[in-house]
Every structure is written in structure tokens, then in C-alpha cells.
Structure 1
Amino acid sequence: MSTNLISIFEQYVSGWKRAEIETVLETLDEDCIITECCGPVYRGRDNVRLWMEKWLGEGNRVLEWDVRTCGELDWIREVKAFLAALPDEDDSA
């Protein structure tokens, strides 16, 4: 698994923790699809921006998001499967 992909995911989580919309958006493809654990789906970077602006604008904040110690084992497996499914950097040459 590519170290770069892990650092991108860590940047995504860190951006949410710091409420930095641009940091999160830098990690996403223009045509990304983000699915929240509770069901809503956001398609495309522009819609993710709108979602974050609304959510953060309502005073919401991510207080804690530690994937390494997360008790949601299935979610961790999904993240690992997602990262494993992406090509390694050296595979794209």
C-alpha cells in the first residue's frame, strides 16, 4: 500500500479535525464521492465544499477522529480495503 495514499487520508482527517475546508478538498478528486456513515452521499468536490461550509457554519466541529484506535472495526476494514484497491504510485508508471 502506498505511503502517499495513507498520508492523503491522514490529511483528509486532519483537515476535518482543524475545520480546514481547503485542506480536505486538496485530497479529493473533482469527481469524488463521499458517503457519510449515516447515509448521505456527496458527489463532486463542489458539493463536498457546500456540505462542509454548511456543517461547519452551523458550529459543528470534529472533536476526535482517531482511525488507528477507532472501535468501528468494519469501518477500518472498509478504509483499508479502499486504500488497498487504489494503485500504488509505482504502478502508475
Structure 2
Amino acid sequence: MEDIIRNYFQAWIDKKIDAVRETFSEDIVYVESHGPVYQGIDQVQRWFADWNRKGTVLRWDIKQIAIVDKTAFVEWFFRYEYEGNIGECDGVTIARFNDDMKICELKEFQSKSQHDYPYGKVW
């Protein structure tokens, strides 16, 4: 499962659309961190192609992966250029695998990559 996750993240950097069908089940439900939901492999593939026409993933660094049963929890840092704007965020992906070792459900959560310390930085 870890290799599947790593290969999928790398596919965004390489703009390798073939990875979508290699990674996800036909009935995938993919929830992006800012709200959009894609249902089924055709919608995920269309979104991947559309996004990569307008943008480029500059970095998608995996900080850690934990696997429990058939679910992977992935903490990451994401930096991108989209329609001429640079952005970045920290985030977490929860990916549930089916018996065929394809991801059948994926949810992303994000936070700002720049953090404030309202009471001062201790370490």
C-alpha cells in the first residue's frame, strides 16, 4: 500500500495520467481537501487531466505513512503552481483500499503551511 501511495503522489509531479486507473477502483470516491468530490474512475481521470492542463505539482513530500488494516494515513507537504499562482499547504490523506489493492475511497485534509505561534515558539 505504501508503494501505491508513493507512486500516485509521484504521478502528479510527472503528470502521469495512467496512474489514475492503476491506483483507483472503478467506484472510487475522492474527496479533495477544499471540498470537491469525484465519484468513479472517469471523473477522477477527467479531474487529473483538467488540473494538469492548468497547473503543475512542484513538490508533494510525504512526511510519514501509517497503515492500519486496509487504510493508509499519509501526512504530506504540497507545493504547486496553478494558473500562474504558487501555493502550498500541509495535509493528510486517508486512503481506504479494497481487496484488489486499489484505492476505493480517498479523503484529503489540509492546513496552512505557514503556522503562527500566538503564545510564542517554545522550541
User: Same fold by TM-score, threshold 0.5 exceeded?
Assistant: yes
3-state SS of paired residue (1:38): coil
Q: Report the alpha carbon displacement of residue 86 of structure 1 after superposing the two structures with TM.
A: 6.7
Matching residue's letter, 2:57? V
Q: Does 1:24 align with 2:20?
A: yes
User: Where in structure 1 are there 5+ consecutive unaligned residues?
Assistant: none
Question: When the two structures are aligned, how many residues end up with a matched partner?
Answer: 77
TM-score (norm 1): 0.68
Q: Does 1:66 align with 2:91?
A: no
More relative contact order, 1 or 2 (CA 8 Å, 6+ apart): 1
Q: Report the alpha carbon displacement of residue 8 of structure 1 after superposing the two structures with TM.
A: 0.8
Distance in 2 (CA, whole Å) between partners of 1:63 and 1:25 is 22
Larger radius of gyration: 2
3-state SS of paired residue (2:30): strand
3-state SS of paired residue (1:23): helix
Q: Does 1:56 align with 2:52?
A: yes
3-state SS of paired residue (2:59): coil
Distance in 1 (CA, whole Å) between partners of 2:6 and 2:63 is 11
What residue in structure 2 maps to residue 37 of structure 1? Answer: 33
Where in structure 1 do 4 or more consecutive aligned residues deviate above 4 Å? none
Identity of aligned residues (%): 30
Change (3 A) 1:86 1:32: closer
- The structure where strand makes up a greater share of residues is 2
What residue in structure 2 maps to residue 12 of structure 1? Answer: 8
